[in-house]
């Protein structure tokens, strides 16, 4: 089946309309007409080949919501008309220890998990193409149910990456009542981190580099806001955090955040900087048995748990809707931090 999409023809070329091929749904497949697709910073990294290995034309997009238009003969979880989502993965080995535990993002099978775009696949053209397109065909095991109201659907799209990337570590490190949790960087990921930590019942503290973002962070649900460049403000919170989630994707000094952790506290990184952070000071870690950790998106089961929680609590992303033709401009604005807090493509504009 040929469908409309937009893609980057090369790392240094603007996006252009494309016709791409989607496979006919197999016995376990779900065909989805895409309604909206969020614009993640990873999309930009891939389209511009900043991580290396990008294949062209490149059709990014892994924050997909839409409706089921066809199901294969053996599909049991979904039917035509269901509202569904697809996140960062469309397949995995399904039998390694991680997959068996529902942690497909850490699949250790051959080739690890299959990313929603730019990952090897038997389908033409040999690598996956993502959600900047009219439709997608995905194995039912990697399709999520979305219970948000129809009018919330566009703003629910970013939950499929930004939402789960913050939810998974918040849950793993037990963010909840009685815990003091910090979120560093109030952007696409961080704004979801603040909303989710607050909804989970944690005392939620937003860290930002600029005083101008204080009000916005409070409006997202932070109990407190710390301007991280203000040393006195930072010092007042020394040794007080159970957990800090750092969403910043630019290289920076981690030590000031480690110093804010309690004994046994953890600073978890979810941003992927192009250049490494400076090596952290070891004394800060050993004297209070603190940890620096990392976390990658989330498994399918916990993504469903997050979507259900968000639907129940009315949680969505704060978005700015764009037409497909505005994607290059959106990338440029994203690089300047000029977005509150996620762009979402209205797929109806692809035609
Ligand atoms: Zn993403
Ligand atoms: Zn696996």
Per DSSP, which regions of the chain are E strands?
Answer: 2-7, 16-21, 29-39, 64-71, 83-86, 89-91, 114-115, 135-139, 144-145, 180-184, 203-208, 224-227, 241-246, 261-269, 291-294, 319-322, 342-346
Task: Grade residue 140 by pLDDT with cuts at 50, 70 and 90.
Answer: very high
Task: Grade residue 43 by pLDDT with cuts at 50, 70 and 90.
Answer: very high
Taking the CB of residue 162, how many other CB atoms lie within 10 A of it? 28
Q: What is the pTM of this model?
A: 0.97
How many Å lie between the centroid of ligand 1 and the Cα of residue 271?
Answer: 10
How many Å lie between the centroid of ligand 1 and the Cα of residue 233?
Answer: 32
Mean pLDDT of 170-188: 97
Share of the chain above pLDDT 90, in %: 94
At the top level of CATH, the class of 2-161+298-303+317-350 is alpha beta
Q: In this structure, which ligand is nearest to the CA of 42?
A: 1
What does the pLDDT read at residue 212? 87
Those residues whose C-beta lies under 8 Å from the C-beta of residue 189, and which sit 6 or more positions away, are 162, 165, 166, 247, 270, 271
Q: What is the residue-averaged pLDDT of the chain?
A: 96
Give 15 or 52, the one with higher predicted confidence: 15
Q: Which residues keep their CB under 5 angstroms from ion ligand 1?
A: 40, 42, 161
How many Å lie between the centroid of ligand 2 and the Cα of residue 108?
Answer: 5
How many Å lie between the centroid of ligand 1 and the Cα of residue 238?
Answer: 32
Residue spans of the domains in the chain: they are 2-161+298-303+317-350, 162-294
pLDDT at 351 over 90: no
How many Å lie between the centroid of ligand 2 and the Cα of residue 97?
Answer: 7
Superfamily name and number for 162-294: NAD(P)-binding Rossmann-like Domain (3.40.50.720)
pLDDT at 228 over 90: yes
What does the pLDDT read at residue 275? 86
Residue 209 burial by Cβ neighbours in a 10 Å radius (0-12, 13-18, 19+): middle
pLDDT at 210 over 90: no
What does the pLDDT read at residue 272? 84
How many Å lie between the centroid of ligand 2 and the Cα of residue 115?
Answer: 13
Task: Grade residue 247 by pLDDT with cuts at 50, 70 and 90.
Answer: very high
What does the pLDDT read at residue 150? 97
Q: In this structure, which ligand is nearest to the CA of 299?
A: 2
Task: Grade residue 329 by pLDDT with cuts at 50, 70 and 90.
Answer: very high
What does the pLDDT read at residue 6? 98
What does the pLDDT read at residue 201? 98
Q: In this structure, which ligand is nearest to the CA of 249?
A: 1
Backbone torsions φ then ψ of 208, nearest 5 degrees: -140, 155
* Pairing between β-strand 180-184 and β-strand 203-208 as defined by DSSP bridges: parallel
């Amino acid at each position: 089946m040929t469908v409309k999409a937009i893609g980057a023809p090369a790392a240094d070329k603007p996006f252009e309309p494309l016709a791409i091929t989607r496979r006919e749904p197999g016995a376990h497949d779900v065909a989805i007409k895409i309604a909206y697709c969020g614009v993640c910073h990873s999309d930009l990294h891939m389209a511009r080949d900043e991580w290396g290995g990008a294949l062209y034309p490149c059709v990014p997009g892994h924050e997909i919501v839409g409706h089921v238009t066809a199901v294969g003969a053996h599909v049991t979880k979904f039917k035509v008309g269901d509202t569904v989502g697809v996140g960062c993965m469309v397949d995995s080995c399904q039998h390694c220890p991680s997959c068996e535990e529902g942690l497909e993002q850490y699949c250790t099978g051959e080739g690890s998990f299959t990313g929603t775009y730019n990952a090897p696949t038997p389908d033409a053209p040999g690598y996956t193409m993502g959600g900047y397109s009219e439709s997608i065909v995905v194995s039912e095991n990697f399709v999520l149910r979305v219970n948000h109201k129809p009018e919330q659907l566009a703003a629910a799209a970013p939950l499929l990456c930004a939402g789960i990337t913050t939810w998974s570590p918040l849950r793993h490190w037990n963010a909840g009542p009685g815990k003091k949790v910090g979120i560093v960087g109030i952007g696409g990921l961080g704004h979801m981190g603040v909303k989710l930590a607050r909804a989970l019942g944690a005392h939620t503290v937003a860290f930002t580099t600029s005083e101008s973002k204080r009000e916005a962070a409070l409006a997202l649900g932070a109990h407190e806001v710390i301007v991280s460049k203000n040393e006195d403000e930072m010092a007042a919170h020394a040794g007080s955090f159970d957990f800090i989630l750092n969403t910043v994707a630019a290289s920076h000094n981690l030590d000031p955040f480690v110093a804010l952790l309690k004994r046994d506290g953890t600073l978890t990184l979810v941003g992927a900087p192009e250049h490494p952070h400076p090596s952290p000071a070891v004394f800060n870690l050993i004297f209070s048995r603190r940890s620096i950790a990392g976390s990658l998106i989330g498994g399918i089961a916990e993504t469903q748990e997050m979507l259900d929680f968000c639907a129940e609590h009315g949680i969505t992303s704060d978005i700015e809707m764009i037409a497909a033709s505005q994607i290059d401009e959106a990338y440029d604005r994203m690089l300047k931090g000029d977005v509150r807090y996620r762009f979402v493509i209205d797929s109806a504009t692809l035609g």
